[in-house]
């Protein structure tokens, strides 16, 4: 019961500049990403092979994300429970003036050992405040892979489906999934 109570109210940290990421946290983020991807999670960035993935593949992708961190444009939001990484996500703003009022949420992950304890929902609730109050964003968007129930998860948090690209994601031969676009007005 104590673990469940702790997990429903994680501590949050924002990483807004590359130099803020410690080597230990980098290792935890890479481990989380590898574990989530290999467990069937929908966090496969461009340039990745399909799972199974390794730390050698994930590390450079994470480094690319970290290198682009900037408090005005890109932040990592990290959730920990008792000092252990429980989940994380990336919040980005496109600098183009036509869409600078909108942000994108990517790489939403809950480490498998913390699944079902509300970490993902807590991250998504927290990112709303960060986006609106700290970055001045007015709308958030994200893209999810159909077939995993993710759209239902986000709908329960107030997100709305605004588009769907049928069969756009090929996760295996003969297994094409829709790419679902979702939005949240802040």
Residues forming a β-bridge with 12 = 79
pLDDT band at residue 172 under the 50/70/90 scheme: confident
- Per-residue model confidence as pLDDT tens digits over 11-31: 999 999 999 999 999 999 999
Give all strands of the β-sheet with 102-110 in edge-to-edge order. Answer: 11-15, 74-81, 84-93, 102-110, 139-145, 175-185, 160-172
- Per-residue model confidence as pLDDT tens digits over 82-97: 999 999 999 999 999 9
pLDDT band at residue 6 under the 50/70/90 scheme: very low
pTM of the full structure: 0.93
pLDDT of residue 48: 78
**What is the spatial distance between Cα 119 and Cα 127, in angstroms, rounded to a whole number?**
12
């Amino acid at each position: 019961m104590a673990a469940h109570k702790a997990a429903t109210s994680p501590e949050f940290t924002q990483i807004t500049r590359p130099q803020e990421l410690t080597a230990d946290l980098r290792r935890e983020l890479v481990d989380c990403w590898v574990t989530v991807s290999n467990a069937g999670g929908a966090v496969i960035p461009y340039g990745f092979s399909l799972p199974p993935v390794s730390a050698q593949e994930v590390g450079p992708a994470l480094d690319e994300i970290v290198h682009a961190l900037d408090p005005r444009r890109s932040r990592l939001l990290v959730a920990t429970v008792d000092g252990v990484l429980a989940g994380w996500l990336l919040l980005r703003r496109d600098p183009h003036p036509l869409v600078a009022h909108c942000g994108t949420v990517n790489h939403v992950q809950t480490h498998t050992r913390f699944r079902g304890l509300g970490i993902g929902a807590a991250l998504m609730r927290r990112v709303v405040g960060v986006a609106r109050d700290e970055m001045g964003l007015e709308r958030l968007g994200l893209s999810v892979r159909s077939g995993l129930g993710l759209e239902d998860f986000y709908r329960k948090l107030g997100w709305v489906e605004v588009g769907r690209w049928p069969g756009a994601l090929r996760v295996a031969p003969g297994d094409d999934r829709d790419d679902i676009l979702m939005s949240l007005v802040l």
